[in-house]
């Protein structure tokens, strides 16, 4: 979390006041990790089309 820049955190939230204070590449990595983790923990079947 130290690499992301100036943010505040709570239990499961990330508070960003100004996007220019945040390293966007690190934010992308964090989002990708969060999505992958949630998909691994909560797998779903194929979506109906």
DSSP string for residues in 1-49: -TTTBS-EE-SS-EE-S-GGGB-HHHHHHHHHHHHHHHHHHS---PPP-
Longest CA pairwise span in the chain (Å): 42
Q: 10-residue block means of pLDDT along the chain (49 residues)?
A: 84 89 93 93 76
Distance CA 19, CA 21 (A): 5
pLDDT in the model for residue 48: 66
The model's pTM: 0.70
Residues 6+ apart with CB under 8 A from 19: none
pLDDT in the model for residue 31: 92
């Amino acid at each position: 979390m130290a690499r992301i820049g100036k943010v505040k955190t709570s239990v499961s939230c990330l508070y960003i006041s100004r996007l220019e204070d945040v390293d966007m590449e690190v934010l992308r990595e964090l989002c990708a990790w969060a999505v992958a983790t949630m998909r691994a923990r909560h797998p779903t079947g194929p979506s109906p089309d």
